[in-house]
């Protein structure tokens, strides 16, 4: 570590003296930095107090329109009164423990899988967890057996829907993207052409177009009486779209692996798949963790676009709640702030995990 | 516009194919077999179709579906809802994803004739109007020359607005904002002089979004006709009859003064032959439609008559009076074809 090489002199003097020294060095170092510091302080003073006043001091949490009308600050009562609608959408009210439980199981599996990178004991459970967990989640969400009432997936909504769309999206887009990346690097012209055309076409259109095609145009081309589920169509659209982006991310990783590593695999008489699995991909994937997570984060946020095809993801249910009663409609700032907070929490966790993962996987290089 | 053209073309092709393939009674038989009506609704329009705090769909559009289910299956709750956007709605109907579209849809010639749809009734007569701040000092839309107008894009609203100003030889400056929250915020912050959308929407914006509703007024001019009603796909006339008469029965019940409350009493004691026919005391109507004789009784008992549905949803949620939607006997346009 560079800090150890040139360790700074130990701080001396009273607390005040040290504070003055520190701020001189870090905040008022030259006229430019002084201006920046003062500007930032002014900005914070201008922004934070009114925000605190609005969001906390003058805000109300009481779930009634009357108390919101009286309050001069934020009306968190909107979120409070409609919390279950925001979290679970139009899922039948009495059955909402099912999406809640499904969501907890899904989060558990995801956390377990993520932890598996560090703990070998957990790692061997990753696949069984998914194999057992996913059917349980499906049963909970759909029902229809074990005395659970059947719930059409046009009733699914809110946070469970967002999590399902994005985690299923990740699970399928990842291998598909990997295959596309390998296909694009392939020596076989047919596979290469198909991969290149696919990637470029999908990358050339916005997700909203893919979803729109899947939900509005696609059903018109099916034979009469055949309908494919709306949610499934959206999910496939998201997978296909994300895979194309991931493929390019993975291609970057593959190209960064030195040629000699491929040749090493060949010289050991490993088959194509063996050398990919044992030598190339572990190195390539490790290199592209930041852009991969970047893709996942953007996909997670892109799931909000399903609102244009009438599915209520988490942001959609906030809008649904805003329209549940016209009296709530004017408190949309509070609703969107709540949604933003939840989205930030999830995306920030993903970013943090990716930083941790990078550090964890680089340990081999640091020795 | 392009997307709409392509969609319309695709929709027409399918409609043509669907019309050939459809067998009489196919939709109706399907509903009986699965035990519920699949109903396409708006993704959220208070008073018409919106989810309440418990996530249940409510509104006058929703009540049409509930009435149909009550008539056909005997239970108003045998409905499954598919929330649809404006772009999706006709595809969903043509592809058979939904049985009935009850989503504040304006009946027009093209939709009725070219898209292979059947409008079975009008459950809400709406029209486009203007909302202004009283401070503007305008009392008629004819005085709006040169005004800045807030409008949502891609709707007939925008086209009607342009048509109206052109016809009157006036100029205006549109402020086109996609999101209704932002659009209304722009209006109330004074970004534009006028806000235009359907009159039902204006009323709810005025009462619910304005700091002080008395500072704002809706101009008397209504510049377009928007007859909104439930739609089914062409090809199953028996099904469209069921929907048409289920909705008609709600209005007929209001005309006779039969309500959710007094329907049992009416059924037992009324000597009015019209009510006896409606409630199945004198049998025949149910048989004619291929329904149980208690079809209309079930509707009124479980959903209520048209006036009750309007009161509960539109008046309570949006603060709108009956206006054009009053019964014809009260000077409105709602006029039931006789159930006989």
The interface residues of chain A toward chain B in range 48-107, judged by CB-CB distance below 8 A, are 81-82, 84-85, 88-93, 96
Max alpha carbon distance in chain A (Å)?
85
ipTM: 0.75
Which positions ≥6 away from B223 have C-beta within 8 Å?
B127, B128, B129, B130, B141, B160, B161, B163, B164
Looking at the domain that runs over A77-91+151-361, which CATH code has it been given? 1.10.3720.10
Write the DSSP string, A299-338: HHHHGGGGGGGT-EEHHHHHHHHHTTSGGGGGGHHHHHHH
pLDDT tens digit string along A6-56?
555 666 678 888 888 888 888 888 888 889 989 999 999 999 998 888 888
CB A157 within 8 A of CB A88: yes
For residue B66, how far is the Cα from the chain centroid?
14
How high is the mean pLDDT of chain B?
A: 87
Give dist(CA B206, CA B130) in Å, integer: 11
> Domain-by-domain residue ranges, chain A?
2-47, 77-91+151-361
**Beta-carbon contacts below 8 Å between A and B:** 126
Least confident among A176-180, A274-278, B162-166: A274-278
Q: Under 8 Å CB-to-CB from A341, ≥6 apart: which residues? A: none
For chain B, domains (ranges, CATH) are 2-125+227-330 (3.40.190.10), 128-224 (3.40.190.10)
The shortest C-alpha distance from B95 to chain A (Å) reads 6
Note the pLDDT of residue A310.
77
Q: Is A43 helix (H, G, I), strand (E, B) or coil?
A: helix
Interval A84-138: pLDDT, tens: 888 888 888 888 888 888 888 888 888 888 777 777 777 778 888 888 888 888 8
Rounded distance, CA A367 to CA A352, Å?
A: 23
Cβ count within 10 A of residue A97: 10
**Tens-place pLDDT, residues A139-190:** 888 877 787 888 888 888 889 889 888 988 888 999 999 999 999 888 889 9
- Put simply, whether B55 touches A (Cβ < 8 Å) is yes
**Single pTM value for the model:** 0.80
B182 has a chain A CB within 8 A of its CB = no
Facing residue for A324 by CB, picked from B13, B53, B83 = B53
Residues of chain A positioned with their CB less than 8 A from the CB of B22: 224
Dihedral pair phi/psi, residue B124, rounded to 5°: -155, 120
User: Does A230 sit within 8 Å of B95, measured CB to CB?
Assistant: no
pLDDT the model gives residue A225: 63
């Amino acid at each position: 570590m560079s800090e150890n090489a040139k360790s700074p002199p130990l701080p001396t003097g009273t607390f005040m003296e040290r504070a003055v020294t520190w701020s001189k060095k870090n905040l008022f170092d030259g006229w430019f930095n002084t201006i920046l510091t003062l500007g930032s302080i002014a900005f914070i003073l201008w922004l934070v107090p009114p925000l605190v006043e609005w969001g906390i001091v003058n805000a109300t949490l009481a779930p009634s329109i009357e108390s919101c009308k009286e309050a001069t600050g934020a009306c968190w009562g909107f979120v409070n009164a409609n919390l279950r609608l925001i979290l679970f959408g139009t899922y039948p009210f009495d059955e909402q423990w099912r999406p809640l439980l499904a969501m907890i199981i899904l989060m558990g599996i995801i956390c377990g899988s993520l932890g598996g990178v560090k703990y070998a004991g957990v790692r061997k459970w990753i696949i069984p967890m998914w194999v057992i967990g996913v059917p349980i989640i499906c049963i909970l969400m759909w029902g229809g057996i074990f005395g659970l009432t059947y719930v059409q997936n046009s009733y699914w909504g809110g946070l469970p829907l967002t999590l399902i769309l994005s985690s299923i999206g990740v699970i399928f887009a990842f291998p598909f993207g990997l295959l596309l990346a390998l296909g694009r690097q392939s020596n076989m012209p047919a596979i290469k052409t198909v991969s290149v055309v696919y990637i470029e076409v999908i990358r050339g259109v916005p997700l909203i177009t893919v979803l729109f095609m899947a939900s509005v145009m696609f059903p018109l081309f099916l034979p009469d009486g055949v309908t494919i589920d709306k949610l499934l169509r959206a999910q496939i659209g998201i997978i296909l779209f994300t895979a194309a982006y991931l493929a390019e991310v993975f291609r970057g990783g593959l190209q960064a692996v030195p040629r000699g590593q491929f040749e090493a695999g060949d010289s050991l008489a490993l088959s194509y798949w063996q050398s990919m699995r044992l030598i190339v991909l572990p190195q390539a994937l490790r290199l592209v963790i930041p852009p991969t997570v970047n893709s996942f984060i953007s996909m997670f946020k892109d799931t909000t676009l399903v609102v244009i095809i009438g599915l209520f993801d988490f942001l959609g249910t906030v809008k649904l709640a805003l329209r549940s009663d016209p009296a709530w409609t004017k408190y949309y700032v509070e609703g969107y702030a709540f949604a933003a907070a939840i989205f930030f929490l999830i995306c920030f966790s993903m970013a943090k995990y990716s930083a941790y993962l990078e550090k964890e996987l680089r340990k081999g290089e640091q020795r | 516009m392009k997307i709409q053209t392509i969609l319309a073309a695709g929709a027409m092709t399918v409609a043509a194919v669907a019309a050939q393939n459809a067998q009489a009674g196919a939709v109706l038989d399907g509903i009986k077999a699965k035990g519920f009506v699949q109903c396409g609704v708006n993704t959220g329009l208070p008073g018409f179709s919106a989810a309440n705090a418990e996530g249940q769909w409510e509104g006058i559009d929703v009540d049409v579906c509930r009435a149909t289910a009550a008539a056909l299956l005997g239970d108003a709750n045998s409905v499954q809802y598919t929330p649809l956007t404006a772009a999706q709605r006709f595809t969903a109907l043509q592809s058979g994803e939904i049985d009935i579209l009850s989503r504040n849809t304006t009946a027009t010639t093209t939709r009725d004739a070219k898209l292979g749809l059947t409008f079975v009734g009008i459950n809400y007569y709406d029209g486009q109007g203007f909302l202004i701040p009283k401070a503007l000092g305008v009392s008629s839309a004819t005085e709006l020359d040169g005004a800045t107008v807030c409008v949502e894009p891609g709707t007939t609203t925008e086209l009607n607005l342009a048509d109206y100003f052109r016809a009157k030889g006036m100029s205006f400056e549109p402020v086109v904002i996609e999101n209704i929250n932002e659009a209304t915020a722009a209006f109330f912050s004074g970004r534009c002089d006028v806000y235009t959308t359907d009159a039902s929407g204006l009323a709810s914006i005025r009462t619910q979004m304005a700091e002080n509703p008395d500072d704002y007024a809706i101009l008397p001019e209504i510049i377009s006709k928007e007859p909104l009603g439930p739609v089914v796909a062409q090809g199953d006339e028996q099904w469209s009859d069921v929907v048409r008469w289920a909705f008609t029965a709600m209005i007929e019940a209001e005309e006779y003064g039969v309500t959710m409350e007094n329907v049992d009493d009416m059924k037992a004691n009324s000597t009015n032959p019209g009510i006896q026919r409606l409630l199945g005391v004198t049998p025949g109507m149910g048989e004619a439609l291929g329904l149980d004789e208690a079809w209309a009784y079930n509707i009124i008992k479980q959903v209520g008559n048209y006036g009750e549905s309007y009161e509960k949803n539109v008046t309570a949620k949006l603060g709108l009076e009956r206006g054009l939607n009053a019964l014809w006997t009260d000077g409105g346009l709602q006029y039931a074809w006789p159930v006989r």
